[in-house]
C-alpha cells in the first residue's frame, strides 16, 4: 500500500483504530504527561473524521518522539529537531493528509528552533504539538530552553542562570496562525484544542504541558490549571494580535510562579497557508504532487479526492 494513496472510506471511525497491533504498551514512566497527549490525540482524530490511513505523524527525538510507536497511522520518527521540515515536505506533496508534527521542548524550541520559527513564518498547514516538560526527559533531566530560571539539574547544579524562552510569544512573533496551550492534566480541553488545531488551515502550534515526574519533580506546578476561555478573570480577543500578545506575555510570566493558564491565545483564520500563497503566484500546481505517482488503474481513491473531502 502506497503512503500516498491509502485512503479510508467515509465511515464511523473508532479511536481504537489508532492503537497499533505491535508495541501497543507505551514505555513512558508511570504518571508521565505524554500519556495525556496520546489519549487526547486518539480521541481528537476520529472526531475530525480522520482515519489512520489519512494521518501522518512526524516526530522528533525524545520521550515525546516515541509517540509514533503508539499511534497507528503513517509515521516518520525523524532526527533531533527535524520533524518540521519532513512534515512540511509531506504536506506539500499530499495536502489531503492530516499532517501532525510532534516533539519535545528541547527538540522544537532548542535544536529545532530555527525550523519552528520558519515553519510558523511560512504558515505551513499542519498541527505542531510540543510536549513541554521543561527539561530533556529522554537524556535524563538536563536543563532545556523552557526550564525556569533557577531550575537545578545535572547540567545546571547551581540552578539555571537564564530566563526560559517564551514559546507562545515566539510563535506569535514568528507568524503562527493558531496558538494554544493545553496540559496533560486537562484531557478534555486538550482534545478540543487538538481538534481545532487540526481543522485550522495554516500552522497550528499547541504548547502541551506534559509533566515529567521522573526528572522534573516540579511537575506538580501544572495543577491546577486555569482555562482562560472559561475564567471570568481573563477577557481578550483571540483574533486581536495585540491583545493576544499581552495575554501570552502574562501567561508566560505567571507560569514561573506556578499559575498555569491554558486555552486558545491566537487565531487568524484569514492568513493564507504557504501552499495557497505558492499557488497564487503559480509556483505550485492545484493537484497534489503525490498525484503524479498514481497509475490510472489504482483502485484506491486518488489524493485529490481526499483533498476535496477535507477541504
Ligand X SMILES: Cc1ncc(C[n+]2csc(CCOP(=O)(O)OP(=O)(O)O)c2C)c(N)n1
- Binding to ligand SF4 by residue 142, rule CB under 6 A? no
CA dist 261 and 223 (Å) reads: 10
> Which of 245, 136, 227, 239 is CA-nearest to residue 190?
227
Grid coordinates belonging to 133: 516538560
Where residue 150 falls (left for φ over 0; alpha for ψ -120 to 50; beta otherwise) is left
Q: Is 27 exposed, middle or buried (0-12, 13-18, 19+ CB in 10 A)?
A: exposed
Contacts of 142 (CB under 8 A, 6+ apart): 135, 136, 153, 154, 155
- Binding to ligand SF4 by residue 175, rule CB under 6 A? no
Task: Identify which of residues 128 and 131 has a Cβ nearer to ligand X in the complex.
Answer: 131
Q: One symbol per residue from 86 to 115: x for binding Mg ion (CB under 5 A), - otherwise; what is it?
A: ------------------xx----------
Task: In angstroms, give the least distance from the CB of 110 to ligand SF4.
Answer: 15
Question: At residue 37, what are phi and psi to the nearest 5 degrees?
Answer: -65, -45
> Which of 195, 188, 207, 187 is CA-nearest to residue 261?
207
Helix (H, G, I), strand (E, B) or coil at 209: strand
Task: Identify which of residues 218 and 277 has a Cβ nearer to ligand X in the complex.
Answer: 218
Q: Is 283 exposed, middle or buried (0-12, 13-18, 19+ CB in 10 A)?
A: exposed
- Binding to ligand X by residue 138, rule CB under 6 A? yes
Where residue 79 falls (left for φ over 0; alpha for ψ -120 to 50; beta otherwise) is beta
The window from 52-60, 197-205, 210-218, 276-284 that contacts ligand SF4 (CB under 6 A) reads 210-218
70, 128, 136, 304: which one binds ligand X (CB under 6 A) = 136
Cis peptide before 224 (omega within 30 of 0): yes
- Binding to ligand X by residue 137, rule CB under 6 A? yes
Is the Cβ–Cβ distance between 97 and 50 less than 8 Å?
no
- Binding to ligand SF4 by residue 133, rule CB under 6 A? yes
- Binding to ligand X by residue 105, rule CB under 6 A? yes
Tell me how far CA of residue 8 lies from CA of 52, 76, 123, 305, in angstroms: 8, 20, 27, 11
Within residues 45-64, the interface with ligand SF4 by CB under 6 A covers 63
- Binding to ligand SF4 by residue 213, rule CB under 6 A? yes
The window from 84-92, 100-108, 275-283, 291-299 that contacts ligand X (CB under 6 A) reads 100-108
- Return the biggest CA–CA distance within the chain: 66
- Binding to ligand X by residue 36, rule CB under 6 A? no
- Binding to ligand X by residue 133, rule CB under 6 A? yes
The window from 86-94, 132-140, 155-163, 185-193 that contacts ligand X (CB under 6 A) reads 132-140
- Binding to ligand SF4 by residue 29, rule CB under 6 A? yes
Alpha helices in the chain (DSSP H): 34-47, 67-70, 83-93, 105, 113-121, 167-174, 187-199, 241-255, 274-280, 303-310
74, 215, 236, 266: which one binds ligand SF4 (CB under 6 A) = 215
Q: One symbol per residue from 42 to 81: x for binding ligand X (CB under 6 A), - otherwise; what is it?
A: -------------------xxxx---------------x-
Task: In angstroms, give the least distance from the CB of 207 to ligand SF4.
Answer: 16
Task: In angstroms, give the least distance from the CB of 179 to ligand SF4.
Answer: 23
**Which positions lie near ligand X, rule CB under 6 A?**
61-64, 80, 103-107, 131, 133, 135-139, 144
**Which positions lie near ligand SF4, rule CB under 6 A?**
28-29, 32, 34, 63, 133, 137-138, 212-215
**Which positions lie near Mg ion, rule CB under 5 A?**
104-105, 133, 137
Amino acid at each position: 500500500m502506497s503512503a500516498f494513496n491509502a485512503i479510508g472510506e467515509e465511515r464511523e471511525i473508532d479511536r481504537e483504530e489508532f492503537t497499533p497491533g505491535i508495541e501497543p504498551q507505551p514505555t513512558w514512566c508511570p504518571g508521565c504527561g505524554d500519556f495525556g497527549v496520546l489519549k487526547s490525540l486518539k480521541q481528537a482524530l476520529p472526531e475530525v473524521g480522520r482515519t489512520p490511513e489519512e494521518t501522518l505523524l512526524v516526530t522528533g527525538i525524545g520521550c515525546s518522539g516515541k509517540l509514533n510507536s503508539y499511534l497507528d497511522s503513517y509515521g516518520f520518527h525523524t532526527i533531533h529537531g527535524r520533524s518540521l521540515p519532513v512534515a512540511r515536505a509531506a504536506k506539500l506533496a499530499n495536502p489531503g493528509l492530516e499532517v501532525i508534527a510532534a516533539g519535545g521542548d528541547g527538540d522544537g524550541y532548542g535544536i529545532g528552533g530555527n525550523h519552528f520559527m520558519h515553519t510558523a513564518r511560512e504558515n505551513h498547514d499542519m498541527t505542531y504539538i510540543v510536549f513541554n516538560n521543561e527539561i530533556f526527559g529522554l537524556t535524563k533531566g538536563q536543563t532545556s530552553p523552557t526550564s525556569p530560571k533557577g531550575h537545578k539539574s545535572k547540567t545546571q547544579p547551581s540552578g539555571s542562570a537564564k530566563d526560559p524562552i517564551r514559546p507562545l510569544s515566539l510563535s506569535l512573533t514568528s507568524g503562527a496562525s493558531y496558538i494554544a496551550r493545553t496540559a496533560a492534566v486537562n484531557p478534555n480541553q486538550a482534545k478540543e484544542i487538538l481538534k481545532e488545531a487540526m481543522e485550522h488551515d495554516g500552522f497550528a502550534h499547541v504548547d502541551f504541558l506534559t509533566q515529567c515526574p521522573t526528572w522534573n519533580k516540579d511537575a506538580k506546578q501544572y495543577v491546577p490549571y486555569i482555562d482562560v476561555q472559561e475564567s471570568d478573570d481573563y477577557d481578550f480577543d483571540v483574533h486581536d494580535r495585540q491583545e493576544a500578545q499581552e495575554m501570552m506575555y502574562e501567561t508566560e510570566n505567571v507560569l514561573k510562579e506556578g499559575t498555569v493558564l491554558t486555552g486558545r491565545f491566537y487565531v487568524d483564520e484569514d492568513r493564507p497557508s504557504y501552499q495557497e500563497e505558492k499557488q497564487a503566484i503559480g509556483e505550485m500546481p492545484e493537484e497534489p504532487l503525490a498525484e503524479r505517482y498514481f497509475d490510472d488503474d489504482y483502485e484506491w481513491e486518488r489524493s485529490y479526492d481526499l483533498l476535496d473531502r477535507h477541504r
